[in-house]
Amino acid sequence: MILLLSLICLVPNKYELTYEETSIIVEPERFELHDYVSLKSVAELLGLGYVMDNTTQQLFLTAGGRRFVLIPDLRTIEYGDRYYHLPFSPVYRNGEVYFPVQLITTTLGSAFEKLIFIKRVMEIPVINDISLHSRADSTIVKFSWARAVDFDVRFSTRQAIIEIDGIYKERPKLRPKGAVTSARLTPHNTYTSIELGLDGVNSVIERDDEIVFFNKVTTKVALIVVDAGHGGIDPGAVGKKGLYEKDVNLAISKVLKKFVEDSLKIRVILSRDRDIYLSLKERTNIANRNAADIFVSIHCNAHLKGVPRSGFETYFLSDAKTSEERAVAALENASLKFDNLVMPNDDLSFILYDLAQSAFLDESNHLAENIQISAEKNLKIPSRGVKQAGFYVLNGAFMPAVLVECAFISNPTEEKMLRKKNFQRDLAYCVYRGIRSYIEDYERRLNN
Ligand SMILES: [Zn+2]
C-alpha cells in the first residue's frame, strides 16, 4: 500500500492554462490536498503586472488601473477597495506565491475580466514492453510497465482487439506464437491498439498485466457467477413505496447461490455480496477472470409510463426487436452514468463489438428459455417470455449469459411482493430450477 501511494505521488497531474491564443503547461504544487500553481506564470500568461513587496509580504497584481492584492497564508484578498475571503489561502514557497488552481477563474479571471481556460492534463502512461509467451494450453500477452496501465480486450474465438491506455517508447516486437496467428500493433496519440488473429482459443482471462488465451474444454459446469444488479450509489429502479432494486437483487442472488451450491454442488461466486457499487464491465470481468461457465445477472423490471406491467422475463444479448425490449435495456444500461462512461449513441453500437457473446448466442438463448420455462411452472406472476436486447452487462462475457428481470418494482402490487422473503425465495428457486434444467440439457447434449 505504501509503495502504491508513493507511485501515485510520483505522477502529478499537470494543468494546461489557455488565455486567448496562448497555452502554457504548469506543474502544480500540492498543499493541503489542493493543487496550487505559481502566480508568476499565471500573471505572465494574462499579461498582469506582478510586484512582490518583500517587506510587507504583499503581492500586487495589476492591469489597466485595476489592482489585486494578496498576502500569502491569508485568506483575505483586496480588490477594488473591497476585501474578499477565499476558501483556501495562497501559499508562499521558495520565493514564489502559489494560488489554488480551482480559484483562478473565479477570482483573478473575473477580477481582470480575462477569460482563462484551465484543463487538467493527465500524463500518458508508458508501456515498457509487450511480449507473447506460449505454453502447452495457453498463449499469454504480457505487459511490462512501471505503473499499471488500463487496458480493454474484445475477443472472439478468431480475433482479439486490445486497447491499452498508454504509449510505448520503443516499438515492441510482436511475433505470432502459439494460438496467436497474426499480430498488428498500432500506436495512437494517447493509446495503443493491438489486433491479434487467434486460432483454437475458446477462453480468455484478463489479469493486471497479462491476457491469457487458452483452450478450455468445458464438459461440466463447475462455476456460476451470479450478479446482483446495481448497488452502492446506483440504486437501480425504485418502487413507489421506496423499495430499491439493488436490495432485492442482492437478496434474491444470495438465496440463488445457496440453492445452486446446496443442490447442484456447483460453486457460485456473487459479483457482490453487499451494498457496494461495481461497474458493469467489472461484473463480466469477474466471470471471465474466474473462467465461469454461466453468468446470470439478477434485476427487477421497471416501466415508466402507461399501464402498469407485471411478470417475469429473461433476456440474452442480441439486437432488441421491439421498442419495449430496447427501453428495458436502456434503463439497465443507465448504470453506465455512475461509471462516467458515455452512453453509446444507439444501443447496437457496442453489440457489434461483442465478439465474445456472439459465440455463445445459442447457449445463452437456451439458458434463457430454461429459466423462462421454470418461471411458467414455479411462479404465480405472468411469464413474459424470452427476450433479447443490448445489455451492456452481458457484453464481453465469454460464457452463456442472461439477464433476469424478476418482477416489476414499478408495479405497486409486485413491489409489495418483492419486499417479502417468501417471494424472493420463489424467484431464486425459479432461476435455480431453470439453471438446473439447462445444465442437464447441456451435459446431455455434450455427452452424445
Ligand atoms: Zn436493474
Task: Give yes or no on whether 11-121 and 223-446 have one common fold.
Answer: no
Distance (Å) from CA 335 to ligand 1 centroid = 8
In CATH, the architecture of 223-446 is 3-Layer(aba) Sandwich (3.40)
Residue 58 pLDDT greater than 70, yes or no: yes
- Three-state DSSP class for residue 366: helix
CA distance 393 to 333: 8
Distance (Å) from CA 305 to ligand 1 centroid = 17
Distance (Å) from CA 356 to ligand 1 centroid = 22
Of all residues in the chain, what percent carry a pLDDT higher than 70? Answer: 92
Q: Does domain 126-214 have CATH number 3.90.79.10?
A: no
Residue 169 pLDDT greater than 70, yes or no: yes
Q: Using an 8 Å Cβ cutoff, are 432 and 259 in contact?
A: yes
Per DSSP, 135 falls in state -
Which range is most confident: 116-120, 165-169, 439-443?
A: 439-443
Distance (Å) from CA 15 to ligand 1 centroid = 39
Q: What is the pLDDT at residue 341? A: 53
Of the pLDDT bands very low, low, confident and very high (cuts 50, 70, 90), residue 251 is very high
Distance (Å) from CA 213 to ligand 1 centroid = 31
Residue 243 pLDDT greater than 80, yes or no: yes
Q: Between 335 and 294, whose confidence is greater?
A: 294
Q: Between 95 and 197, whose confidence is greater?
A: 197
User: In this structure, which topology does domain 11-121 adopt according to CATH?
Assistant: Copper Amine Oxidase; Chain A, domain 1 (3.30.457)
Residue 398 pLDDT greater than 60, yes or no: yes
Residue 149 pLDDT greater than 90, yes or no: no
Residue 74 pLDDT greater than 50, yes or no: yes
Ion ligand 1: residues, CB < 5 A: 229, 236, 299, 332
CA distance 219 to 402: 20
Residue written as grid cell 427476450: 387
Residue 8 pLDDT greater than 50, yes or no: no
Distance (Å) from CA 311 to ligand 1 centroid = 15
Q: Between 321 and 278, whose confidence is greater?
A: 278
Distance (Å) from CA 118 to ligand 1 centroid = 38
Distance (Å) from CA 237 to ligand 1 centroid = 6
Q: Kindly report, residue by residue over 255-264, the tens digit of the pLDDT.
A: 999 999 999 9
Q: Between 84 and 298, whose confidence is greater?
A: 298
pTM more than 0.75: no
Q: Kindly report, residue by residue over 36-49, the tens digit of the pLDDT.
A: 999 999 999 999 99
Q: Between 84 and 408, whose confidence is greater?
A: 408
Distance (Å) from CA 33 to ligand 1 centroid = 37
Distance (Å) from CA 301 to ligand 1 centroid = 7
Residue 437 pLDDT greater than 50, yes or no: yes
Mean pLDDT, residues 178-182: 91
Of the pLDDT bands very low, low, confident and very high (cuts 50, 70, 90), residue 308 is confident
Residue 60 pLDDT greater than 80, yes or no: yes
Alpha-carbon distance values, 211 to 170, 198, 204, 214 (Å): 21, 13, 7, 10
Alpha-carbon distance values, 48 to 85, 91, 307 (Å): 21, 19, 64
Domain spans in the chain, listed from the N-terminal domain onward:
11-121, 126-214, 223-446
